[in-house]
A and B are shown apart, each in its own frame.
Chain A
């Protein structure tokens, strides 16, 4: 099935089995293995990528649903030697151990900061009308769709706070 989309700024034409998920299209067909497969059914967040700027679980949608979309993967956020502030903060704060959940955490965190900037409330936001603050509680709540079995959570929170300070 024919699908045209933009991935990390490059236009791509793909003709794949309609059963192919966005995740498998990235991993098996485009060599973009930075997006990880932790569960393949929407339970872990390892496959988080950005579609039109919003974070999604790439395992939960089929490639053919993304005709015309703009997809950004971890490879599009930065490269070794040219890390994004979020990637750099994860390295400095040891926001990972094995590294397998990490691209998903970083894509998720990057989009999450944007959601806060746009004033989206979360389950723990006290005042739904006010601009939410980047508290530890807000970060933890908003990052709870990204599992980390190495359990780097306290360091992930520290990394996001550091990155937010630098980019603010």
Chain B
């Protein structure tokens, strides 16, 4: 029943190009759209469950010491309180993405300020909130702990670096060079739906309605945390209100809800408050990055150096992979890339949209702008001259790469040729400038499964535990199945977000669409083969369209071919040799016009354009929205987003949306996006690559470079807030 594809060879047959339904790539509306716009799509904390009790997390007021619940009995006696839970299985912080096992569990010791250490459960939300606020947490025997990454002890991460040639020698001999240090602060994913779980036991079986991105891993993480078998756990997440990395790994509220539900014998809901979302889910690590670049007289890079410092809590293996795309984006024979991980007692660092490239390429692209200036070369031209023929470190070929086309086409669409000289164009109080940056992000395929059922009436159903966190999964999986089986989009139902269904790759790392999409493709191929067998024709001679099979100059309806039977196939894709044989990545370019106020230092993004190449586009409408989303994250990174930590105890000072400034509508112009036509045979049989993160991988650099063009002010400490710009005006 299961058809398996291990991606060991490029899929040069490009079967989707020969299909007849015309769905794949089309800018179709999201099928679940009517539910979302009417408020009838049900998110984690929205199930009406009888006898539901409410839990509220209580957190450590410091980053050190033994935890004692000082007034536990008094709180337990408050009106409506059902339980005060301080269980050794409570999570210190969320699991990292794809961890597949529980993270550190230690509610008896404070490791960072804001760490969940207890849960208060009550009949009503209001009672639980009041009781939780009344619970006093005493920390005993603590000592000051390092919270500043720049002074804390650190661990080198040699596996993520490279040392090739002689960068010092290249610096000494270079015609032009730069040596600059940039800093980026921590960022919060800040999805609009706060993390929430409803846990419900039936005997020894647990059902968790949660807000999660990667259910097959989350199920194992939850089972491991509770000490039960994964078969006992079912997770449901049909709708997820955004994740951006913060819902990759199982988070503290899920385990707390499960323990509370067991202890009280009732279903329990635990929803994080907005400050808790900021303080107990993942932050993107801050970075300090020293970049050195050298060019020869022709503007060809001879050396690239990037030395990054990032941080995390003790016991966490994740280190922000800052150098990930620097390894292959540009040529240059002398390369020294290094990463150090400082250990600090701030909240946990993990994946936030495009871990690595979001900050690594952004800073590299600012440095490239500085180099272009130093060498007197146009920034687009400098990049064009340094596109390597092959991966400059491994010597592997690129699977597909329309990087040069993105630079050229984006420059043309934007009108780059009209870029003003530095600090030369003024309109009233406003300095006007243009900036650009390249985009690059690695591409990954992950193991994924899906079941496709072709029913006797000629409709189809796709089932997988894959999630749609706004990424368009409902749309694209239906389009792929409809295309392969020759069915109109309305004839395909897509069921997601249930661990009882075949296990998918999950949403994250931009791999969800190509991985889960391939599993659907593989299942549909098997169904096509069976249909062809019934008709006695070769599968490749079968044309399926609008519920009809066309073969040998004959036409027959699917219902007639099926003759009352259904065909059920499971597709299973595994990464193989193609992941190792070539360098797979996505590319693009951003172009930005800013206006910087000469009096206040305020920056407004007036125009923004992105040209991207990410293999075959599966739905032009949802893919464009993903690019918009990434680029707007870039606006936030460039201008306003910054988690501010207290130097004394590492506490997050701006733990809410009024003080952590994500972009609002008025901060964002009518951005334009171009999706370049591309097929990547090495990436998947869909020829598609990931696109969910490409939009952020350098975008903020284009804005900061535009600020320089407008004003002559280089801001090397993100975000480029008014004070920093004004200081240079």
What residues on A are CB-neighbors of B621 within 8 Å?
Answer: 94
- Nearest-neighbor residue (CB-CB) of B631 within chain A: A151
What residues on B are CB-neighbors of A88 within 8 Å?
Answer: 37
Kindly state whether residue B471 has any CB partner on chain A within 8 Å. Answer: yes
Inter-chain contact B38/A74, CB cutoff 8 Å: yes
Interface size class of B (residues with CB under 8 A): 35 or more
Please give the distance in Å from A107's CB to the nearest CB on chain B.
9
- Nearest-neighbor residue (CB-CB) of B622 within chain A: A94
Residues 614-639 of B at the A interface (beta carbon under 8 Å): 621-622, 624-626, 628-629, 631-633
Complex CA distance for A35 and B38, rounded to whole angstroms: 10
Inter-chain contact A91/B192, CB cutoff 8 Å: no
Complex CA distance for A156 and B666, rounded to whole angstroms: 12
Inter-chain contact B30/A94, CB cutoff 8 Å: yes
Complex CA distance for A128 and B334, rounded to whole angstroms: 62
Inter-chain contact A91/B665, CB cutoff 8 Å: no
Complex CA distance for A87 and B41, rounded to whole angstroms: 14
- Supposing A74-B38, A94-B622, A100-B191 touch, asked if A136 and B241 sit within 8 A by C-beta, the answer is no
Inter-chain contact B658/A43, CB cutoff 8 Å: yes
Residue of A43, A90, A153 with most partner-chain B CB within 10 A: A153
Interface residue count on the A side (C-beta < 8 Å): 64
Please give the distance in Å from B34's CB to the nearest CB on chain A.
4
Inter-chain contact B194/A150, CB cutoff 8 Å: no
B42-50, B164-172, B390-398, B582-590 - interface stretch: B42-50
Kindly state whether residue B35 has any CB partner on chain A within 8 Å. Answer: yes
Please give the distance in Å from B398's CB to the nearest CB on chain A.
29
Please give the distance in Å from B30's CB to the nearest CB on chain A.
7
Inter-chain contact B666/A141, CB cutoff 8 Å: yes
Kindly state whether residue A117 has any CB partner on chain B within 8 Å. Answer: no
What residues on B are CB-neighbors of A98 within 8 Å?
Answer: 191-193, 239-242, 469-470
What residues on B are CB-neighbors of A34 within 8 Å?
Answer: 38-40
Kindly state whether residue B273 has any CB partner on chain A within 8 Å. Answer: yes
Digitize B44-77: 1 where CB-to-A-CB distance is under 8 Å, 0 elsewhere. Answer: 0110100000000000000000000000000000
- Nearest-neighbor residue (CB-CB) of A78 within chain B: B38
Complex CA distance for A149 and B631, rounded to whole angstroms: 12
Inter-chain contact A33/B42, CB cutoff 8 Å: yes
Kindly state whether residue A121 has any CB partner on chain B within 8 Å. Answer: no
Kindly state whether residue A22 has any CB partner on chain B within 8 Å. Answer: no
What residues on B are CB-neighbors of A143 within 8 Å?
Answer: 665-666
Inter-chain contact A152/B625, CB cutoff 8 Å: yes
Inter-chain contact B34/A43, CB cutoff 8 Å: no
Number of A-B contacts (CB under 8 A): 191
Please give the distance in Å from B429's CB to the nearest CB on chain A.
16
What residues on A are CB-neighbors of B271 within 8 Å?
Answer: 37
- Supposing A80-B40, A83-B38 touch, asked if A17 and B656 sit within 8 A by C-beta, the answer is no
- Nearest-neighbor residue (CB-CB) of A38 within chain B: B192
Complex CA distance for A78 and B45, rounded to whole angstroms: 22
Inter-chain contact A148/B125, CB cutoff 8 Å: no
Inter-chain contact A91/B193, CB cutoff 8 Å: no
Complex CA distance for A145 and B664, rounded to whole angstroms: 8
Please give the distance in Å from B619's CB to the nearest CB on chain A.
10
What residues on B are CB-neighbors of A157 within 8 Å?
Answer: 665, 670
Complex CA distance for A80 and B32, rounded to whole angstroms: 10
What residues on A are CB-neighbors of B37 within 8 Å?
Answer: 74, 78, 83, 87-88, 90-91, 96, 99, 102-103, 106
From A31, A43, A73, A77, B657 is in contact (CB under 8 Å) with: A43
Please give the distance in Å from A87's CB to the nearest CB on chain B.
4
Inter-chain contact A91/B628, CB cutoff 8 Å: no
What residues on A are CB-neighbors of B472 within 8 Å?
Answer: 97
Please give the distance in Å from B390's CB to the nearest CB on chain A.
35
Please give the distance in Å from A95's CB to the nearest CB on chain B.
8
Inter-chain contact A155/B125, CB cutoff 8 Å: no
Kindly state whether residue B414 has any CB partner on chain A within 8 Å. Answer: no
Digitize B651-671: 1 where CB-to-A-CB distance is under 8 Å, 0 elsewhere. Answer: 000001110001111111111
Please give the distance in Å from A67's CB to the nearest CB on chain B.
19
What residues on B are CB-neighbors of A43 within 8 Å?
Answer: 274, 656-658
Digitize A63-92: 1 where CB-to-B-CB distance is under 8 Å, 0 elsewhere. Answer: 000000000011101111101000110111
What residues on B are CB-neighbors of A147 within 8 Å?
Answer: 192, 657, 662, 664
- What is the interface of chain B mostly: helix, strand, loop, or mixed? loop
Kindly state whether residue A27 has any CB partner on chain B within 8 Å. Answer: yes
Inter-chain contact B668/A140, CB cutoff 8 Å: yes
What residues on A are CB-neighbors of B671 within 8 Å?
Answer: 154
From A39, A90, A97, B470 is in contact (CB under 8 Å) with: A97
What residues on A are CB-neighbors of B244 within 8 Å?
Answer: 149
Residues 18-45 of B at the A interface (beta carbon under 8 Å): 29-30, 32-43, 45
Inter-chain contact B35/A151, CB cutoff 8 Å: no
From A74, A99, A106, A141, B241 is in contact (CB under 8 Å) with: A99
Please give the distance in Å from B638's CB to the nearest CB on chain A.
14
- Nearest-neighbor residue (CB-CB) of A73 within chain B: B39
What residues on A are CB-neighbors of B239 within 8 Å?
Answer: 98-99
Inter-chain contact A24/B126, CB cutoff 8 Å: yes
- Supposing A97-B242, A149-B662, A152-B625 touch, asked if A35 and B29 sit within 8 A by C-beta, the answer is no
From B41, B43, B127, B629, A97 is in contact (CB under 8 Å) with: B629
From A41, A80, A150, B38 is in contact (CB under 8 Å) with: A80
Kindly state whether residue B190 has any CB partner on chain A within 8 Å. Answer: yes
Inter-chain contact B192/A81, CB cutoff 8 Å: no
Residue of B191, B469, B625 with most partner-chain A CB within 10 A: B625
Residues 646-700 of B at the A interface (beta carbon under 8 Å): 656-658, 662-671
- Nearest-neighbor residue (CB-CB) of B633 within chain A: A151
Inter-chain contact B41/A99, CB cutoff 8 Å: yes
Complex CA distance for A92 and B34, rounded to whole angstroms: 10
- Supposing A94-B622, A96-B37, A150-B242 touch, asked if A156 and B192 sit within 8 A by C-beta, the answer is no
Q: Could you give 18 example pairs across A and B, Cβ below 8 Å?
A: A19-B126, A24-B125, A28-B124, A28-B125, A34-B39, A38-B657, A39-B657, A43-B658, A74-B38, A78-B38, A79-B38, A87-B37, A96-B36, A96-B470, A106-B37, A141-B665, A143-B665, A150-B192
Interface of B toward A, CB cutoff 8 Å: 29-30, 32-43, 45-46, 48, 124-127, 130, 189-194, 239-242, 244, 271, 273-274, 469-472, 621-622, 624-626, 628-629, 631-633, 656-658, 662-671
- The 9 A-B residue pairs with the shortest CB-CB distance, nearest first, are A34-B39, A100-B241, A99-B36, A97-B470, A98-B470, A151-B632, A33-B46, A91-B33, A74-B39
In addition to A37-B45, A97-B626, 13 A-B residue pairs with Cβ atoms within 8 Å of each other are A19-B126, A20-B126, A36-B43, A36-B193, A79-B38, A91-B30, A94-B621, A94-B625, A97-B629, A99-B241, A99-B470, A140-B665, A155-B628
